[in-house]
Amino acid sequence: MPPDNLRFGGGASETVLHPIVLVAMLIAVALIFLLPRKYVIWPFLCTAFLVPLGQSILVGGLHFFVIRVIILSVVVRMLASRFTSPAGIFGGRLGTLDIVFLVWAFCRALAGVVVFSFDAGALVYQAGFLLDAIGGFFALRYLICDDDDIYRTLRVFATLCIIIACCMLFERVYRLDVFGLLGGVRAVPEVRNGSVRAEGPFQHELLAGTFAATLLPLFFLLWRDAKSRFLAVLALAVSVIFAPGTIAPDSSVTMPRKVPVCANKADEKKSETKTPSNNFISQVPNLLPCKKYETKNPDVTTEC
């Protein structure tokens, strides 16, 4: 019996591919095969993060997202280099971390199939996961081989962060997501309590904030490269500014305030107050499901 809290399937019932995205994808594929290996990271990451995930080609019920097409292109070049490069791929052998990642990916896919009793749709879904996870892992493994590749990748991320931050600023000011005009994400952002939650090319606002926050320590590393310090400082600035901009205050949860407690006349004169932490305990029942709850304070009960 499949669990109620897990599901798969859905997605677009037809191809969703904007002409601009189609042209960009074809250019990226061409660059992947024509550029030297060390520069392939530019079209790979730019296409991965600037094209909304919802852009896909539907073939026989299978969704080939743009990022999957890009991953397959890099994998084809990687396999071709096995016959053209004297050292082969990854020096001719897999490392310990490579094996650990492969084991995790296959175990995760197997668990997803077993929980749905080997349903055909679950098999297809997990096959897509393996393509994204293993293909993406080894594509980056092939493109990032040494320290120079690491710093080059950080420069790509810094450039992407600046571009996305500018687009998200436009989104917050004009309440229009330019990536949504391509399809795959919302064109009109969510507004909570009068504050726009910008999402950029991501499918949720929190993913955009997580993207910027995760890159912060990497930009500090990029700052060590003398030739990239200006780019690193600029990327750090936009990350710090725009990561919180994806989160809007939630009026459903109020912060606890000090509440005067007068146990007797002596206490009333002293006007003693509870600490915020004690008051928060008394507020907990208001945030829980509709049942009767009791706290450590015997005078506080809630029932809804």
Q: How many CB atoms lie within 10 A of CB 133?
A: 19
Query: Is the residue at 228 inside a domain?
Result: yes
Asked whether residue 287 falls in the same domain as residue 227, the answer is no
Query: Is the residue at 207 inside a domain?
Result: yes
More confident of the two residues 127 and 88: 127
Query: Is the residue at 141 inside a domain?
Result: no
Asked whether residue 238 falls in the same domain as residue 283, the answer is no
Query: Is the residue at 132 inside a domain?
Result: no
Asked whether residue 230 falls in the same domain as residue 278, the answer is no
Compute the Cα dihedral for 283, 289, 295, 301 and give only its sign. Answer: positive
Query: Is the residue at 237 inside a domain?
Result: yes
277 — pLDDT class (breaks 50, 70, 90): very low
* pLDDT for 43: 97
Enclosing domain of residue 280: 265-302
Asked whether residue 222 falls in the same domain as residue 269, the answer is no
Alpha-helical runs (H) found in the chain: 19-34, 41-50, 66-84, 96-115, 120-143, 147-174, 205-223, 229-242, 265-270, 276-287
Give yes or no for residue 258 having a pLDDT over 80.
no
**Averaged pLDDT for residues 251-263:** 44
Contact 274, 258 (CB under 8 A): yes
Query: Is the residue at 185 inside a domain?
Result: yes
Contact 236, 219 (CB under 8 A): yes
Asked whether residue 215 falls in the same domain as residue 269, the answer is no
Asked whether residue 209 falls in the same domain as residue 286, the answer is no
Give yes or no for residue 4 having a pLDDT over 70.
no
pTM for this model (two decimals): 0.75
Show the tokens assigned to 54: 């919802």
Q: How far apart are CA 111 and CA 126, in angstroms?
A: 9
More confident of the two residues 247 and 125: 125
89 — pLDDT class (breaks 50, 70, 90): confident
Asked whether residue 241 falls in the same domain as residue 275, the answer is no
**Averaged pLDDT for residues 227-236:** 92
Query: Is the residue at 165 inside a domain?
Result: yes
Number of domains in the chain: 2
Show the tokens assigned to 202: 């991501």
Query: Is the residue at 111 inside a domain?
Result: no
* pLDDT for 28: 97
Asked whether residue 243 falls in the same domain as residue 273, the answer is no
Q: How many CB atoms lie within 10 A of CB 149?
A: 15
**Averaged pLDDT for residues 198-219:** 89
